[in-house]
Structure 1
Amino acid sequence: MFRFFLTLLAAVLIFTPQKSNAQTSSHNAKFNHLAIYVVNLQRSGDFYKNVIGLDTIPEPFHDGKHLWLKTGPGNAMHIIEGADKPKEYFKANHICFSVNSMESFISTLNKKGIGFEDFTGSKNNKVTTRPDGVKQIWLQDPDGYWIEINDAKE
């Protein structure tokens, strides 16, 4: 009888759902936006709208120094003018956008005369294929921020 109750207790403990630390957090933090600091708002805005393909969304400042762009459901990129000059950035610190068609995106780059490279820095407009099959290229925006473009589905 004791064995039966011990087995029953073990089964109850094993199969009773437990809350993880993430579930007990009251913060429920989620990604909202990324902000970049640029020299020329017009030039950077044109790049992200006309090359990357982002759409503008309302921004509350209306001071000519801010541009907000939609990057996905509930997510945005804030471009803020005020930097004195472009900076040099490490490629490992980058912004990544996924596109439906790498070929179509590369065609847009070619039409606009914008070069790209692979992660190693080979500037021969080479596309890299990751071990998971995702294709990726790298380019820089007008202020030197590195951008990865890939065709990941999720």
Structure 2
Amino acid sequence: MHFTFAHNNLNVYDLQKSLDFYKEALGLEVARTKEAEDGSFILVYLTDGTMPHQLELTWLRDMKRPYELGDNEIHLAFNVDDFDAALAKHKEMGCVCFENPKMGIYFIEDPDGYWLEIVPEK
């Protein structure tokens, strides 16, 4: 028996705002969408166009407030081939929430408060 990653999920409050953010900040594109027949949820799977692993954004109709992320001690990490250009772009977008120059990484925050680690390709 062998398991492989399929996707990670993040629940989002404003689906369009999140889709716009992930496209602009990370270049992710919609791979597929699934909508509940009763309109209670929408799942959108995003791809980087390279790896088979996807990010699933889940929007729930009945969620009437932004999500509470607690201590937010989880994150997703993204490799980038031009670290300096990415950092400049994310600073321009105003979404850099933490930098660690000693480790050579930084984090951006999405519209729902999830932290995304940006790591230079090795």
The aligned residue for residue 49 of structure 1 is 23
Equivalenced residue count is: 115
Shift of residue 37 of structure 1? 0.6
Query: Superposition RMSD on alpha carbons, in Å?
Result: 2.1
Gaps of at least 5 residues in structure 2 are none
Residue 89 of structure 1 contacts residue 144 of structure 1 at CA under 8 Å; is this kept in 2? no
Gaps of at least 5 residues in structure 1 are 1-25, 119-126
Is 1:150 the counterpart of 2:119 in the alignment?
yes
Is 1:96 the counterpart of 2:73 in the alignment?
no
Equivalent position to 1:58, from 32, 52, 55: 32
Q: Deviations over 1:103-152 (max 9, x none)?
A: 1111211332333313xxxxxxxx4233xxxx210121111111111113
Give the 3-state SS of the residue equivalent to 1:46 in structure 2.
helix
Question: Of Structure 1 and Structure 2, which has the larger fraction of its residues in strand?
Answer: 2
Q: TM-score, structure 1 length as denominator?
A: 0.65
Asked which structure has the greater CA Rg, the reply is 1
Stretches of 4+ aligned residues off by more than 4 angstroms: none
Q: TM-score, structure 2 length as denominator?
A: 0.80
Letter in 1 for 2:28: L
Counterparts of 1:1-150 in structure 2, within 5 Å, are 26=1, 28-61=2-35, 65-71=42-48, 72-82=50-60, 83=63, 84-118=65-99, 127-130=100-103, 135-150=104-119
